[in-house]
């Protein structure tokens, strides 16, 4: 396939940035999207030009770092996958592909297609954990009976990889789907009850402090989430927040 790529280039956080056109030829339909960008970068390096900076690590849908906005959709045209799992067979010869970084005030661009998702880390640090006594007397988690429906729902919430596609897809740049997944995975389990009140209050406060917008129930986040995190988690987080506000 021969393709035209229109890629966001931005030297650093202070640079204004612009879309730059690139022609790429002999792209195999079996390549992943990131492999196609590797080929482009090899060509740019051979010509003495600056390669395109983009984030990636696991390349198997686990780490959540491959945050690309492709033809106006987070992680491109496919559903329930990350950019590293997207294959070039989803495109056709002669296509023009627009490639941009996540767009959200709370995710500032560092360079080209790489954004700073440190805001998610700070939300996690505010409460996305449980404190465990590691003195040697800790009760084995498997010894605590948990009803299957709750265990399944907690597991589903825990599959969130923190990619930020929910924020990038939301017209309000809301982080509610991400935060609600992190709150839900503990709210559904007995181990999460001890710190439940502080967790939801602290995580929501940090989310607001980072400058994410609010949720207006549009649902774009759920559609674009590569892990299929359900909007039900947002409803659960709102209930947890209300409960904690009365207690607090």
Where do contacts with ligand SF4 occur on this chain (CB under 6 A)? 64, 160-166, 177-178, 181, 225-227, 229
Q: Please state the separation of Cα 1 from the chain's center in Å.
A: 29
Min dist CB 175 to ligand SF4, Å, is 8
* Among candidate residues 111, 97, 229, 110, the one with its CA nearest the CA of residue 164: 229
- Contact flag: residue 61 with ligand FES (CB under 6 A): yes
Residue 164 binding partner per list ligand SF4, ligand FES, none, with a CB distance cut-off of 5 to 8 Å that depends on partner kind: ligand SF4
The token duo for 138 is 């800790």
- CB hemisphere CA count around 197 (13 angstroms): 7
How far is it, in rounded angstroms, from Cα 207 to Cα 174? Answer: 9
Q: Which stretch binds ligand FES (CB under 6 A): 59-67, 95-103, 115-123, 217-225?
A: 59-67
Sign of the CA dihedral 23, 26, 30, 34?
negative
Among 15, 49, 50, 57, binds ligand FES (CB under 6 A): 57
To the nearest whole angstrom, how small is the minimum distance from the Cβ of residue 120 to ligand SF4? 7
Q: Which of 63, 110, 146, 158 binds ligand FES (CB under 6 A)?
A: 63
User: Which residues does 126 contact at the CB level (< 8 Å), separation at least 6?
Assistant: 202, 203, 205, 206
Q: Choosing among ligand FES, ligand SF4, none, which partner's interface includes residue 128 (Cβ < 5 to 8 Å by kind)?
A: none
Find which of ligand SF4, ligand FES, none residue 235 binds, CB within 5 to 8 Å per kind. Answer: none
User: How many residues line the site for ligand FES (CB under 6 A)?
Assistant: 13
Contacts for 28 with CB less than 8 Å, ≥ 6 apart: 1, 88
- Point out which residues bind ligand FES (CB under 6 A): 56-59, 61-66, 82-84
């Amino acid at each position: 396939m021969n393709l035209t790529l229109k890629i966001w280039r931005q030297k650093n956080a202070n640079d204004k940035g612009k879309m730059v056109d690139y022609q790429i030829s002999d792209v195999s339909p079996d390549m992943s999207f990131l492999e196609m960008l590797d080929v482009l970068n090899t060509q740019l390096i051979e010509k003495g030009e600056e390669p395109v900076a983009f984030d990636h690590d696991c390349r198997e849908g686990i780490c959540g770092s491959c945050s690309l906005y492709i033809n106006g959709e987070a992680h491109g045209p496919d559903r329930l996958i990350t950019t590293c799992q997207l294959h070039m067979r989803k495109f056709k010869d002669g296509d023009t592909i627009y490639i941009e970084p996540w767009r959200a005030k709370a995710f500032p661009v560092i360079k080209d297609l790489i954004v700073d998702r440190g805001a998610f880390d700070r939300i996690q640090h505010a409460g996305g954990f449980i404190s465990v006594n590691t003195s040697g007397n800790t009760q084995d988690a498997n010894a605590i009976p948990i009803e299957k429906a709750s265990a399944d729902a907690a597991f589903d919430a825990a599959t969130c990889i923190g990619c930020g596609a929910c924020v990038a897809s939301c017209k309000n740049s809301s982080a509610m789907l991400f935060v609600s997944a992190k709150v839900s995975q503990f709210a559904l389990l007995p181990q999460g009850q001890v710190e439940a009140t502080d967790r939801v209050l602290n995580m929501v406060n940090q989310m607001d402090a980072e400058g994410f917008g609010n949720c207006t129930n549009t649902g774009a986040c759920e559609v674009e989430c590569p892990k299929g995190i359900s909007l039900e988690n947002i409803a659960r987080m709102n209930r947890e927040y209300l409960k904690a506000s009365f207690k607090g």
